[in-house]
Structure 1
Amino acid sequence: MADTSSSLDRRRLLQATAVGGTALAVLGATSAIARDEAGDAGGRRVRDLSFDDGWRFLLGDPAQAEQPQFDDTSWRKLSLPHDWSIEDRPGAPKTTDPWVPPVALWNPGGHPKDAKPVSPELPIVMASVPPATADGPPHKVGPFDTDATAFGWGTGWTVGGIGWYRKQFTVSNLAPGEQVEIRFDGAFMITEAWLNGVKLGRNVNGYLGFVFDLTPHVRKDGPNVLAVRVSNVGETARWYSGSGIYRHVWFNRTGSVRIPYSGVAITSPVAGADNARVLVGTEIENRSAQPAKVECQVALRDSGGRVVGTGSVWVTLAAGQVGRADVEIVVANPALWSPEAPNLHHADITLSVDGKVSDQLRERFGIRTIAVSPKTGFRVNGKTYQLQGACLHHDHGILGAVAIDRAERRKIELMKANGFNAIRCSHNPQSPYFLDVCDELGMIVIDEAFDVWEKPKLLKDAYNVYFKDHWRTDLTAMVRRDRNHASVAFWSIGNEIAEAISPRGVEIATQMRAAIRAVDTSRFITQALTASFAGQKGEAARAQLDVTSYNYSFNAVEKDHQTYPELTFLTTETHTADAYDIWEHMQRNPAYMGEFVWTGMEYIGEVGSGSSRLRSDTAAPNEEKKIIFGMDVSMLNFYVWDYPAYQAGSGEIDLIGLKKPPSVYRDVVWGRNSLALFVQRPVPAGFHEEQTAWGWPDVLESWTWPDAGERAMAVHVYARGDEVALVLNGAEVGRKALTAADKRKAIFPVPYKPGTLVAVAYENGKEIARQTLETVGAPTTVRLRAERAAIAGSAADLAYVFAEVLDAKGRMVPDAAVPLRFAVTGKGALRAAGSGNPYGIESFQDGDTRSFHGTALAIVQPTGRRGDAKVSVSSPGLKGDALNIRIG
């Protein structure tokens, strides 16, 4: 069983508790952070105390806001994590009726005032709602603002800016030599901090944590004021990044002899069923003015808390010196970590000086070995795993970028439930808790450092501006932070880096490899290369990698494997449309170790990259040459940059966590399901449907098409076996033999008649599966369905409640788009509401939304430790519903 003692249960739900009984108490606007009264004079270890509560926030950039005497009483009170870019823009309407262009109108320029009539291209109507007028959608709706956005389609029309956060706190019983620090898990993008008016420092990487030492400036005899300025101005991201302190903040107190942040490295070079050899390396800082003889004691515990090994070593440090204590411990009959059995251990590390405890730390890890080989593929503890992976951005849809623990855990649970066993952090480090959960659920992780090096990608203000001065520090910080996560198997040094094969790029990669190896030698280094870098052209770049990774081109893997049989390969981005071909390649070539589809879950920004659209049958081919990231993408039909769409469209799971057709197809390809049945939305006369390379036909699990007449419907069947048949109202209307060339797909033209449509799959004449769609009635009822009936009484937990539109017989109405109003009372508050509609621009903060494909979502956050939160939903003319969520 996975140990969760250092994640959701211990660090967040019991976030006021620390070793020795020390607590952080919120006293009005001031937090009091005290040591245990029984602690020793050197300062008992007080680590990872939540510093999320009691902040004040202002969107703006007032002068002198860093000064402690600045009056912030009018500022908004809030708790972290926080993302202002998902909040409603000042004065923005909160529409719940997504604007859909009529057939005679298409807006190719992404701005309402530029709408043009009778274009040969038209975005597909994705919801059954009446179109708005030809004037187009409003410029500003909820968090979306086409006039104020810096990078438009890239960030989904959202807005950055500058925000300030301030917090008052006191520190009691501060002993001589005691050290005090603050740790941010992440803030986007440029972050500066001051304590009592003294500048602490600056951080420029929006995806990595950072630490500021408060010791020289903290007041012992009165309140302290921490002021933080976060700037997200200009073209800083090419997808939705969010803005503000969007991850957790932590407070630490230690003695003068201490373990620095991410100062512990744990490896298990030998790990077998009989015994394991665990190496625990601990950095030790002597911040005192005197030499110190330090005892470092290590106790290893299993997931049940039982001690399975101990060791200790003495280290003598001069004043101001940093040293290292290496302890080797043999563990008998260890519970090994693997994807199907993610057993975790933790190391309790204690530093003592003159018999007194100066610092304590608990670090979690997994005992396991990993290996790669062109003959046996990727292995954990000697067992081969084909990596069925997903790329994930860091946002959480209608919640924005806020790294609330339940949202992080739910995303990985959804990936696991939908058959994925690996995740690529695209294209920057995720939160520490995200990796905690990957450890607990048995995911294999590619931990990726950078999307750009020195050359930019479309943007003027992104990380490439800071790369030369910061890459070494940031890459080292990522590896140090994440090196004890059992889930992390690969370090990726970049994604589609334009200069990767140039002499300068190879020089950078060589330096990066050395920087990683100085910190960690137990994982594999890779880089997501473009397919154009395959073959001899990319030899110098690949020489710096342990594993060769290409984005999209599985054929490049095949060719390079023949030329370079000693290499191992991943495809770090793939199209779902290629799932069958990739599966087939992997079955015959163990050197091809896995794929990572783009993307596992839908995200905001890069609008329309995975869209479908209508094109006139008489339109001339688009001959405009498009060059993106140095690649000719003209034939890929690349992006549909149309407002009011705001999502990428390429996720296999939609923005609110529901399975999309590409994910269903993948289940059939990989053998997780045998049969699926979909129907393509009718295409208007004179048009045909096109998809981008990341797109998918606009198909639904529906046989309810009241406007279809008797026209022939395109019925899509995904099936295993060797034959599939369709039966409509008891009569067979189609049968098809399946061969490898069909790639587990069959399409039948079936004249529409209301009733029941059944697909049957056969293998050697024997039925192996059947699926049924039936015509349903008009909406009559809205039903609520909670993912979990009970949640913890902490702001770190969330309840996800779906509203589903039903007909009179209680059947889902598969394409219903009805207005909904959510309300929450009791011990909870509505955190967000919305749907998966890619054109659903609206406020996500109020309770009003509209169903998409018959479904919408409300997210509820606890406001009390114990009690019930009542969630209700209503819709004009329909019967509503209510349910209780137990909290505490």
Structure 2
Amino acid sequence: MFNKLVSFFILFAMVMTAIAQPRQTINFNEDWSFTLEDDLQFRRTDFSPVNWKKISLPHDWSIGFDFGEEYPAGNAGGALPGGVGWYRKTFPLSAKDKGSHYTLHFGGVYRYAEVWINGKYLGKNINGYLSFEHDLTSHLHYGNEENVIAVRVDNSLQPNSRWYTGSGIYRDVRLEKRSPIHLLRAETFITTPEVSADRSTLRVQTALNQAMSGKTGKLQLKLHDKNKKLIAEQTLAFSGSQFEEGLSLGRVDLWSPDSPTLYDLSISLLDSSDEVIDHLQYAVGFRHFHFDEHKGFFLNGQSFKLFGVCLHHDLGALGAAFNKSAAKRQLLIMKDMGVNAIRTAHNPPAEEFLDLCDELGFLVQNESYDMWAKRKNKFDYHIDFKEHHIADLISLVKRDRNHPSIFMWSIGNEIREQFDSTGIALTKNMAEVVKALDPTRPVTAALTETNFDKNFIAQAEALDVLGFNYKYFDYDKLPTEFKGYPLIASETTSALQTRGVYDPLQDTIQLWPASSKDKFVTNGNPDFTVSAYDNVAAYWGTSHERAWLEVKKRDFLGGIFVWTGFDYLGEPVPYPYPARSSYYGVVDLAGLPKDVYYMYQSEWTDTEVLHLLPHWNWKEGDLVDVWCYYNNADEVELFLNGRSLGRQSKTDDQLHAAWKVPFEAGELKAVKIKNGTTVQEVAKKTAGNPVDIVVDVEHERYAVDGATDLYFLTVSLVDEKGTIVPNSDVELSFIPQENITIVGTDNGYQADLNSLSNPKRNTYKGLAVGMVKKGDLDKAGKILIKTNIVEKEITIK
């Protein structure tokens, strides 16, 4: 009896110690072992993975392979393999940690993730794009015996997507230590019911995992501004396991893409001695918005056109493996272009991606599914939809609803249930689920059918905003056909371009392929390129200029989402293999802008834009189409070797100045003129032979946390005068010297079959990019970039 009492008091002391310690989040990305073999013995604690590869997470095993035509997902999957992979990790816990509650959180695993802890099966996650977690508490060892996590990932059923998905544990993993009684993040919902110039309110709903055994608990709310100044504080007693309370505030700074002001909200669970038992932290943005069926979108009381792009989840040479530094680079490149809104095509993004959108100022349309019960690929989510779609939708909304950047929920993209009555019930059901969890944001879907009597998703009359993909000729009938609904252009353009390629211009937009009858283009280029002039599109799309003009002149369209901001792996319309990535992006896969980037920048920003294309290396006598994107001026004058070729202006139907110029070597110069005065100049010069490389290292602007930061090395091939050479590419070797790891290399060419993990890369049209990281953050790194003409050692500080 005495021994039992001693054991009881020891356990009681452990529990009380754990209760007094607030939540701790432990990064669990390091020290994993990985294999592409498949054997159920790998789940066992007594198995030793001695020959497995040592890796860090996030991890995408597919991106490390060479591209190949033989992989079953084909070009849709980026000509890269799927398969089955296993991950294992061991970790100790101190005996003093006993009594705490432990949860293992996965940010995303593609696909079909099964998890074991110490040989105990925890379950299988179906959705490859959503976060999930497992309670480890009752299965853990403390003291001398280590714990073993085993994860089996099955991406062998191919094809299962219309684009590259990646394979593996491709987002962050973290271990969360909590007190036995703790706040539930999924049940915490923060809203701003009132936002005005003089007064705002903040409402917090949250819940505990269990009631506090009949005792009264305390919840403390604190709101700080960006300078850490305390704005509001309130401590309230409550009983049971549910809590809902509001904070009344005075004037606050509003969140917007132009000024993404965030406040820090802390929610602390206190015991009777006012010690912190558990703690949650959130970024809060105060903003209000609405859609108007006639006047479009309004943010914080002002008319606001959505300048949006669609983004897939891959990060170029990193594949699907999420890196916050690389994602920040993508977003800031988009920000500089004038983008203020992102559509997460066509699945939920990483949680950290939404953190960046909160901080940097992007409105986000968060999209759930690319298909419902009717398939687009043989093994896609339709096979799991019936059983899992409601639970997955709940998981998505609960996970992301506290992000101020999110302003819309999309329940589907080009869903095939538009075409029959099954779409009505499914739409109603899912819209009801979303609105029950979050009544503060509208629900939409990306639709294709512009006749109400043929669009069964719209007939459900459950969506708050209707999005339409393409259908430019039908825009003016939409307000009548779908009367009473606000409207957006949820996906537009699908123009095709390869950076730096300039085919002779045609008088009309070329459609590659020409119709749905043709799988591939029949009159394309033998090197699998597409001209960077904005005059080629997929048969369902149009040019960037035309798509934007169609939205720009219609106030009832709340905004545009261009397909796409960046090129992405897979879906290489209009070509078969060896093309392996898309041509749709305004920016190429390496993160290098195509020329049309500057058209958007000239339309969507006040940045002084004067961009001249193409390069100026041609054959004598070639008749060259010369374009110039500009803004904040009346006209542009073009000079060739000092001779004026005349002035041109943009028009209501053409967003660039244009000339046809017989080539002669030398200098082509554009002069921007406003009120008769020159305000800006830019020139293109004929390049000679390559003799050197220039390396631009970008890091500080894209830094996030030090540990996972990447350094982006843009290499330019130049002649003796420093002019980029566009037509004499060379091979680069990125060779680590000290404290450097090569993460990936790229050049933006959609048919380059060299693995994106290879440290050797040809320049393409004079440019290439290397992504590297340092080992010891406190020491400089050194890397040698070697070519057949020159080699340079670069110091990474």
Structure-2-length-normalised TM-score: 0.87
Task: Map 1:243-322 to 2 at 5 A.
Answer: 243-286=167-210, 290-317=213-240
1:353, distance to aligned residue in structure 2 (A): 4.0
In 1, the alpha carbon distance for the partners of 2:704 and 2:311 equals 26
Mapped contact 1:724–1:738 kept (Cα < 8 A): no
Identify which of 758, 762, 778 aligns with 2:689.
778
CA drift of 1:776 comes to 1.4
Match of 1:418 in 2: 337
1:381 and 2:358 matched: no
- Shift of residue 704, structure 1, vs aligned partner: 1.1
Partner AA of 1:371 in structure 2: H
- Residues 253-286 of structure 1: per-residue CA shift (max 9 Å, x gap): 1122212242211010111232210001112111
Paired position in structure 2 for 1:114: none
Match 2:766 to one of 854, 863, 866: 854
Shift of 1:734: 5.6
Aligned to 2:28: 51
Shift of 1:501: 4.8
Q: Does 1:661 align with 2:595?
A: yes
Q: Tell me the distance in 2 between the aligned counterparts of 1:287 and 1:230.
A: 37
What is the distance in 1 between the residues matched to 2:246 and 2:372? 38
Q: 1:768 to 1:552 in 2, by over 3 A?
A: farther
Q: Using the TM superposition, give the Cα deviation of residue 732 of structure 1 relative to its aligned residue in structure 2, in angstroms.
A: 3.7
Aligned to 1:320: none
Work out whether 1:573 is the aligned partner of 2:486: no
- For residue 317 of structure 2, give the secondary structure of its aligned residue in structure 1: helix
207-216 vs 552-561, which moves further: 552-561
Describe the superposition over 1:585-620 as per-residue Cα deviations: whole angstroms up to 9, x where unpaired.
44543321110100001111001x2xxxxxxxxxxx
What is the Cα deviation at residue 59 of structure 1? 1.2
SS of residue in 2 equivalent to 1:475: helix
Provide the C-alpha distance between the structure 2 equivalents of 1:856 and 1:804, rounded to a whole number of angstroms. Answer: 7
AA aligned opposite 1:659: P
2:616 counterpart letter in structure 1: W
What is the CA-CA distance between 1:736 and the residue it aligns to?
Answer: 5.2
User: Is 2:132 the partner of 1:210?
Assistant: yes
Give 1:496's aligned residue. 414
The reply on whether 1:242 has 2:153 as its aligned counterpart is no
SS in 1 for 2:795: strand
SS in 2 for 1:518: helix
- 1:870: Cα distance to partner? 1.1
SS of 1:73 mapped into structure 2: coil
Backbone CA RMSD of aligned residues: 2.4
Per-residue deviation, 1:294 = 2.5
Q: Does 1:872 align with 2:784?
A: yes
Deviations 1:441-463 (A, max 9, x none): 11010000001100111x11111
Distance 1:198 1:282, change over 3 A: same
1:763-785 Cα shifts (integer Å, max 9, x gaps): 67665654321111110001211
Deviation at 1:167, TM superposition (A): 0.5
Instruction: Kindly indicate whether the alpha-carbon contact (under 8 Å) linking 1:789 and 1:884 is maintained by their aligned counterparts in 2.
Output: no
1:518-566 Cα distance to aligned partner (Å, 9 max, x none): 2111111110111x24444337526221111011124433211245453
Paired residue for 1:361, among 277, 280, 284?
Answer: 280
Other structure's SS at 2:627 match: strand
> Would you say 1:163 and 2:85 are equivalent positions?
yes
DSSP 3-state at the match of 2:416: coil
Alpha-carbon separation, structure 2, partners of 1:214 and 1:640: 48
| Partner deviation per Cα, 1:643-695 (whole Å, 9 max, x = no partner) | 2221101110111111102212223344655543223xxxxxxxxxxxxxxxx
Distance across 2 between alignment mates of 1:296 and 1:57: 43
Match of 2:389 among 462, 468, 471: 471
Q: Kindly indicate whether the alpha-carbon contact (under 8 Å) linking 2:14 and 2:98 is maintained by their aligned counterparts in 1.
A: no
Q: 1:65: which partner in 2?
A: 42
Contact preservation (8 Å) 1:494, 1:527: yes
Deviations 1:842-865 (A, max 9, x none): 133332111011111111112113
Tell whether 2:454 aligns with 1:537.
yes
Cα offset, 1:316, TM superposition: 2.8
Partner of 1:699: none
SS of match in other structure, 1:485: coil
Alignment correspondent of 1:757: 668
Change (3 A) 1:772 1:562: farther
Shift of 1:801: 0.9
How many residues are treated as equivalent by the alignment? 731
2:579 maps to what in 1? Answer: 645
CA distance in 2, matches of 1:361, 1:44: 13
Q: In 1, distance between residues paired with 2:99 and 2:602?
A: 62
Task: Give the unaligned 5+ runs of structure 1.
Answer: 1-35, 89-141, 318-322, 610-638, 680-701
Name which of 595, 617, 621 aligns with 1:704: 617
Q: 3-state DSSP class of the match of 2:559?
A: strand
3-state SS of paired residue (1:408): helix
Amino acid at match of 2:47: F
Aligned to 1:697: none
**Highest RCO, 1 vs 2 (Cα 8 Å, sep ≥ 6):** 1
Relative to structure 1, the CA distance from residue 171 to residue 263 in structure 2 (aligned partners, 3 Å threshold; closer, same or farther) is: farther
1:405 aligns with 2:327: no
Asked whether the equivalents of residues 60 and 161 of structure 1 are also in contact (C-alpha less than 8 Å), the reply is no
- One-letter code aligned to 1:519: L
Q: CA deviation at 1:158?
A: 0.5
Moved more, 481-490 or 357-366: 357-366
Are the structure 2 counterparts of residues 789 and 567 from structure 1 closer, same or farther at C-alpha, using a change threshold of 3 Å?
closer
1:515 offset after TM fit, Å? 0.7
- Check whether the contact 2:18–2:180 (CA below 8 A) recurs between aligned residues: no
The separation in 2 between residues aligned to 1:337 and 1:671, in whole angstroms, is 19
Give aligned-pair identity as a percent.
33
Structure 1 partner of 2:712: 800
**Tell me, what secondary structure is at the counterpart of 1:206?**
coil
* CA–CA separation in structure 2 for the residues paired with 1:578 and 1:487: 29
Matched-pair contact (CA < 8 Å) for 1:501–1:533: no
Task: Tell me which residue corresponds to 2:627.
Answer: 716
Q: Is the 8 A contact 1:782 1:873 kept in 2?
A: no
Counterpart Cα distance in 2 of 1:539 and 1:456: 17
- Say whether the 8 Å CA contact 1:342–1:441 is kept in structure 2: yes
How far apart are 1:300 and its partner, in Å?
1.6
Aligned residues of 1:723 and 1:762 also touching (Cα < 8 A):
yes
Q: Map 1:1-400 to 2 at 5 A.
A: 40-42=17-19, 44-88=21-65, 142=66, 144-147=67-70, 149-173=71-95, 177-221=99-143, 222-233=145-156, 234-286=158-210, 290-317=213-240, 323-355=241-273, 356-400=275-319
For residue 594 of structure 1, what is the aligned residue in structure 2? Answer: 559
1:549–1:569 Cα contact (<8 Å) kept:
yes
Indicate conservation of the 8 Å contact 1:557/1:569, yes or no. no
CA deviations on 1:758-806 (whole Å, 9 max, x unpaired) are 3345567665654321111110001211013696784411111111111
C-alpha contact (below 8 Å) 1:785/1:801 kept by paired residues: yes
1:549-568 mapped onto 2 (5 Å cutoff): 549-564=467-482, 566-568=484-486
Q: Distance in 2 between matches of 1:57 and 1:314?
A: 48
Kept after mapping to 2: 8 A contact 1:794/1:863:
no
Q: Quote the offset at 1:409 in angstroms.
A: 1.3
Which is further off, 780-789 or 274-283?
780-789
Structure 1 residues 594-603 or 575-584, which shifts more? 575-584
Maintained 8 Å contact 1:574/1:595? yes
Cα distance change of structure 1 residues 759 and 794 upon mapping to structure 2, 3 Å threshold = closer
CA distance in 2, matches of 1:512, 1:565: 22
Q: Which moved more, 1:298-307 or 1:71-80?
A: 298-307
d(CA) in 1 for partners of 2:705 and 2:223? 31
Retained in 2: the 8 A contact 1:554–1:571?
Answer: no
